[in-house]
Amino acid sequence: MANITLKGTVITTSGDLPTVGSQAPDFTLTNEKLSDVGLSDFKGRKKLISIVPSLDTDICAISTKKFNEFAASNSQVDVLVVSADLPFAMGRFCGANELKNTQTLSMMRDKNFAKDYGVLLQDGPLKGITARAVLVLDEDNKVIYTELVPEISQEPDYESAIAALKV
């Protein structure tokens, strides 16, 4: 378990992020077409996984837009945004903001992703959704970078995550 904060209040996560050098756990998440997808759907490609509590918050929206900008000029990387939002809401957000370079994935059918990646919030007002985190995976799904953002209301370290991709 890890401790993070929400505006100074300590919140506990369900575990720890996968460690650098380990294989990323497989997952089943739901895309905007209501299809289940897993890591095998992104086989052979580098992945930046941005885990956010909800796209309906300012910081989540900002980080998704920034990673979308990166993805626009780096087509060899799949940028995945994972949240507890419904695919319909994620689609509206991406449409309204003209975000075409990220893939939004919902935990609507299965919270095992949040448990397996150690980001499920165990207490506090956001209990049951995710902490803010970023992981970078290589083409073989080996973890090459992780960040659990220590304060949910802060943005992630974009530069370090992007630098880990070596693109």
pLDDT tens digits, residue range 139-166? 999 999 999 999 999 999 999 999 999 8
Max intra-chain CA distance, the chain: 40
d(CA 167, CA 162): 8
Domains identified in the chain, total number: 1
Question: Is residue 94 flagged as an active site residue?
Answer: no
C-alpha closest to that of 119 among 24, 30, 2, 23: 2
Beta bridge pairs of residue 133: 51, 148
Residue 167 pLDDT > 80: no
How confident is the model at residue 29, as a pLDDT? 97
d(CA 45, CA 42): 6
How confident is the model at residue 137, as a pLDDT? 97
Neighbours of 23 (CB within 10 A): 12
* Cβ–Cβ under 8 Å, residues 114 and 33: no
Residue 94 pLDDT > 90: no
d(CA 126, CA 75): 33
pLDDT tens digits, residue range 123-143? 999 999 999 999 999 999 999
pTM for this entry: 0.94
Look up the CATH number of the domain holding residue 54: 3.40.30.10
Q: Among all chains, which residue has been given the structure tokens 């294989």?
A: 23
Which residue among 60, 121, 143, 165 is the active-site one? 60
| Structural domain range at position 21 | 3-165
